[in-house]
Structure formats: C-alpha cells, structure tokens
Structure 1
Amino acid sequence: MSDDAEPTENISGGTEGWEAFADDGEEATTRAEAVVDRLGELYWQKAYGGRDAFECLVRTILSQNTSDVASQPAHDALMDRYGGDDKDLAEALAAAEQSRLAETISSAGLYNQKSEVIIDAAEWVLDEFGSEAAFDEFVRTGDPDEVRDTLLSVTGVGPKTADCVLLFSGGRGGVFPVDTHVHRIARRLGVAPADADHEGVRAALEQAVPAEKCGFGHTAMIQFGREYCTARKPACLDDPEACPMSELCDQVGVYPATGEVEDPADAAAGD
C-alpha cells in the first residue's frame, strides 16, 4: 500500500495539512517504536497538522461512539448546511436550531446529544476566544498542556477528542490519541499494560514512541485494527502468518489454539 493511502474515511478529515515524514533511518529503541515503524511501513508515515481547529473539534465530536462510515456523512452534511468559504462555522453553529442540527447529523448516532455538545462548543469558542480564528491560533501555538486542559474543560470533550485536535489541527508531536482500536491493540500487542485504561495506554505509548512518530502511529494502528486485529476475530485466529505484526505481538487475550478472545485486562487477571 502506498504511504499516501490513508483511508478515505478517517478522523484526520483528508489530505490537507499533511506533511511528508522524514525518517532518520535509526533503529527503533523500544518495542512500541518498532510496532509503530512496522505499521508505518504497512500503511503510511505522515506528519499531521493544518486542519482548521474548530472544524476538527466538530469532526471529532461527531466521531464519538461511532465509525467513520457513519460520522463522515454527518460531517459532510453539517459542512454543506453550516460551513463553506463564505460562512464562519462557529458563528453558524452557535446560532443553529438544535433540532435542525440534530437532523443534519443523524447518521452519526447520538445526534441529539452531539448536536447539543456542538452548539455549546461553538458558543464556548466565541465566548472564550472571540472568533474561530483566535481559537485556531490558540490550538496551534499555545502550550500543549494548556490547550489540552482547556479543551477538556468543555462539556462533551474527552481525552481522545482533545488529543485529536492537538494532532490534526495543531500538528503537535508526542500526541498519541487513544480510541477503542488503539486501546485494544496496544494491550494485545503487549506494548501497554494489559489492565491500562485509555489514559494509561496513552501515557505508555507517548513515553515509548518518539514524538514525531505518534501521529502516524495513531492513524496506522486504527487501520490495522480495522483490517487485521478486530475486536472479536483477529487475523491470527485463522492463520498465525496472516497477521503482519505476528512476531511483534504478545497476543494478550488471544488464543489461536482454542479460537477464544478476551479483553487483555481479563487475560492478565487470570494469570
């Protein structure tokens, strides 16, 4: 697969703002880095940044608790109705009628809840920063910890959402957002503690993976989780050689001999 072949439907929102990743050619110093390097070879190696911060925030809220297959059409419909070159997205959404916005994003699921969160976020951006452009500048240039803490103060914005904004808009190195795929796979592979929660996995990966590799490590790990290491039927159950990560994987909670799969935390508890 070409290193440009990121999935069409991805939380990054497309190719705008991507930069080529310059590999220094040095050997990985941790197993987590080796995993990310292999995933990068399998999919792509890119540096991220350049997405509009508020649109990225909205896009990530839409992706919560659903797939890109469902959330991408919702994002497109929202932008068609409220966005565009001649519109200020934050102002349009702050003034939006909640029921109309909910109908617009209905394909994303939890649309009543998400529409309220999006309207509240738009109002917050305008109240706190005065404009969408000022919010964008804060995300791109502010202290990363302060940006993250500020985003987490917004109702409906959790760690993954905040980290995605930092990565895809701010282009911040050392940010490894953790969704359900990353949480599952990092623990199955054994590069994060089996009983770690999402924040524990994030901490483990950000400590073990070089800052410049965290971005594509996140997106490539998601794609690996979709194609090979699914929740209920990882590829290794059919054939140990079917998985391109086999020699780097501890198979925590996966038992090819019996075809059983359990959460890595449960597997660790049974040791």
Structure 2
Amino acid sequence: MGICLSDLWDEFSASDSRFAELAQHLSGARVLRQDPLECLMQFICSSNNNIKRITQMVDFVSSLGNYLGEVEGVGFYEFPSLDQLSKVSEEQLRKAGFGYRAKYIRGTIEVLQSKPGGGVEWLTSLRKSDLESAIEALTSLPGVGPKVAACIAVFSLDQHHAVPVDTHV
C-alpha cells in the first residue's frame, strides 16, 4: 500500500496513450504484491488451463497448508510453505488432476529447495533485480516460460513494467 497508485497511473499514462484513456475508468485498481512462492505455484497451475481447473488445483495446493478456519462452510488454509509443498509427490498431484504440471511443480520445488539460503529467500531477492534478470532467473525453473515469468514478476516481484505476452498475441 506504500506505492502511490496515482503516480504509477501518471507514469503509465505518459508512456501509453491508450492506457491514459483507460486509466480514467480504473480508479482503485491495484496490482497486488503477492507472496512470490504462492504466485509462482499458481501461475504454473494456470498454464494451458481454464479457470475452473486452475481453481481446483490451487485449492488442492492450498489445502496442504495450515488450516485457518471456516466461513459459511468453506475451509480456508494458509498457503503452504516450501517445506509443506515438498511433502506432496508427483503421483499425488497427478491424482489431484494436475496432469503434466505435476512434474513441473515437483521440479520447481526441488530447484527452490536447492537454492543457497532457501528458495523463498531466492524468490524474494528477485524483487531487487532488474526485470531481465528476474525473468531469466524465473525461466530457469521447470514449467516457467516467458509469459508465466512476466506474470510472476508483475504480480509479486515489484516489476510493475513487466508485460506478460501470450503466444496468441
């Protein structure tokens, strides 16, 4: 919340006339500073997928975290730590409907666990990198291509100038 939205809108509007036109209708919109591990896992789930299936996958992964409580019959969980994620097998992920993404999630967890100082610290440290370095680091992870890396950069690594580009564009 320490980032001034109107300053960002002014900066974006100065460099893009279409954004300047649309910004008049976006008051209050804000890019989240999501937890990098959570963001990474969610975007790996999103590749070549639909909203219903992505939601089911993210709900499954979230259920591996600490139970927080229930509201109107819906259980809520803290997103699991890297240690908690490391306990789920590729087979369990496949049974939960992750398909080929199961190997990417397992592979990414293993790569993160091998990072000096820990994978969460490594991911968080990418907030201090320039965009090109952050994208390069993220695309070294299994299942993370340029678009997913740009999504993670913009939504969790303070890279507000990242532009995710879909292969269809």
- TM-score bucket of the superposed structures, by smaller chain: 0.7 to 0.9
Distance apart, 1:140 and its partner CA: 1.9
On the 8 A contact 1:61/1:161 being kept in 2, the answer is yes
Alignment RMSD: 3.0
Tell me the amino acid that sits aligned with residue 44 of structure 2.
I
CA distance in 2, matches of 1:125, 1:73: 24
Question: Residue type of the partner of 1:155?
Answer: P
Secondary structure of the corresponding residue to residue 155 of structure 1: coil
Whether 1:74 and 2:21 are equivalent positions in the alignment is: no
Please give the TM-score of this superposition, normalised by the length of structure 1. 0.50
- Large movers: runs of 4+ above 6 Å: none
Matching residue of 2:102: 115
1:146 Cα offset (Å) = 1.9
**In 1, Cα distance between equivalents of 2:78 and 2:42:** 19
Query: In structure 1, what is the equivalent of residue 71 of structure 2?
Result: none
Match of 2:70 in 1: none
Amino acid at match of 1:90: L
Q: Does 1:83 align with 2:75?
A: no
In structure 1, the partner of 2:115 is: 128
Conservation of the 8 A alpha-carbon contact between 2:35 and 2:156: yes
SS in 1 for 2:137: helix
Q: Deviation at 1:113? A: 1.0
Distance between the aligned counterparts of 1:101 and 1:47, measured in 2? 32
Instruction: Specify which of 152, 165, 171 is matched with residue 139 of structure 2.
Output: 152
Shift in CA distance, 166/18, structure 1 to aligned 2, threshold 3 Å: farther
Match runs of 1:189-200 below 5 Å: none
Distance 1:48 1:133 in 2: 21
| Match status 1:142 vs 2:124 | no
Q: Which has the larger radius of gyration?
A: 1
Aligned residues of 2:44 and 2:144 also touching (Cα < 8 A): yes
Q: Which amino acid aligns with 1:22?
A: S
Q: Deviations for 1:85-131, whole angstroms, at most 9, x for unmatched residues?
A: 78853222233221212233x2xxxx221011001101111102442
Equivalent residue number for residue 221 of structure 1: none
* Number of positions where the alignment pairs a residue of Structure 1 with one of Structure 2: 158
Correspondence for 1:36:
19
User: For the structure 1 residues 153 and 19, does the alpha-carbon distance in structure 2 shift closer, same or farther, using more than 3 Å as the test?
Assistant: same
Kindly, what percent of the aligned residue pairs are identical? Answer: 22
Work out the CA distance in 2 between the residues paired with 1:27 and 1:160: 20
Q: Which one of the candidate residues 74, 87, 94 is aligned to 1:95?
A: 87
The amino acid across from 2:158 in the alignment is G
Which residues of 2 match residues 217-232 of structure 1 at below 5 A? none
What is the alpha-carbon distance in structure 2 between the residues aligned to residue 127 and residue 74 of structure 1?
Answer: 25
**Mind listing any 5+ residue stretches in structure 1 that lack a counterpart?**
1-16, 184-271
Q: Distance in 2 between matches of 1:159 and 1:46?
A: 25
1:176 aligned residue? 163
The superposition leaves residues 231-260 of structure 1 with CA deviations (integer Å, 9 ceiling, x where unpaired) of xxxxxxxxxxxxxxxxxxxxxxxxxxxxxx
Contact 2:62 2:80 in 1 (8 A): no
Q: Secondary structure at the match of 1:145?
A: helix
Amino acid corresponding to residue 101 of structure 2 in structure 1: K
